[in-house]
Structure 1
Amino acid sequence: MKLILKRLGLRRRLRDDRGVSILEFTGFLPILLVVGMAAIQLGLIGYGINQAGTGARAAARVASQDGDGAAAGQAAVSGWLSPNVPTLDVGPDLTTATVTVQVPSVIPLFNPVTVSRSATMPTDD
């Protein structure tokens, strides 16, 4: 009987575990996708922080020299981040600029992240 089962390959098929690994991978795939999207989201937030800081420095530098700091701050930031220069304080000694950017959400069901950075430069006389 064993010889007949062995020739037909039935004995091997009864203990065969082929296909189990694809089921395990299919179950784990959503977790991998969420972790990957979270890493991309954190990278975008870091990029937004960098861009907001660059825009704030540019706005403060130009405004300290009696220029249009708001336009300089918006020009220094990538347009898809929707830069905004809500605060531009030009004083006799110091000029402070604040730039706010909106980082879009990669993960569904999460709201976009708003990032704000400020920079201060000495006012030129």
Structure 2
Amino acid sequence: MAPGWARLVRARLREDRGQAAVEFTGTLPVILATLALLWQAALIGYSFSLAGNAADAGARAGAVDGPAACEAAAREDLPAAWLAGARFGCPGNGGDLYEVSITFSVPVLFPGVLDLPFTFDADAAAVNEVPS
């Protein structure tokens, strides 16, 4: 028969106290990576929404007041973090439709810090009200 202290040591080694903490520590990187990917997906969707709204605002302003108003309205509609990589196309072609194109970059995780290495386009059009 083993001494009393040996039985206590064996019983202590078989316990599963702390198991939840070990498992949580092991899955924490997976949880954080999943949250980062979900946040990035939401940021991409938000960027598309912002760019579409800015293109619509630019098209409405350009159709009424011309190219200068187009770019000003589009710039006003975009937050500062998205303006850094944005390019506005307000041609004022004089046709029936006033077409606007915005090329922009989507930020990586934190707007204003780093952008994805590729760009996206947002287009909009409005009925041209400027006399030709």
User: What TM-score do you get using the length of structure 1 for normalisation?
Assistant: 0.82
Cα RMSD between the aligned structures?
2.5
Matches within 5 A, 1:33-52: 33-52=32-51
SS at match of 1:65: helix
Across the two proteins, how many residue pairs are aligned to each other? 122
Q: Hey, what's the Cα distance between the residues in 2 that align with 1:106 and 1:43?
A: 10
Say if 1:111 and 1:73 are closer, same or farther in 2 by CA, change over 3 A: closer
* Cα distance in structure 1, aligned partners of 2:126 and 2:10: 80
Instruction: Show the counterpart of 1:72.
Output: 73
Contact 1:85 1:97 (C-alpha < 8 Å) held by counterparts = no
Shift of 1:111: 5.3
Mapped to 1, the partners of 2:19 and 2:46 lie a distance apart of 41
The correspondence for 2:88, drawn from 79, 86, 90, is 86
Distance 1:123 1:42 in 2: 35
| Structure 1 unmatched ranges of 5 or more | none
Amino acid at match of 2:103: T
Give 1:79 shift. Answer: 1.3
Distance 1:78 1:60 in 2: 18
Instruction: Compute the TM-score of the two structures, normalised by the length of structure 2.
Output: 0.78
Structure 1's consecutive aligned runs of 4 or more residues displaced over 4 angstroms after TM superposition are none
Identity %: 31
Letter in 2 for 1:86: F
Q: Aligned letter for 2:47?
A: G
Question: What is the identity, as a one-letter code, of the residue corresponding to 1:46?
Answer: G
Q: Deviations over 1:62-92 (max 9, x none)?
A: 1111242011111111111126343223222
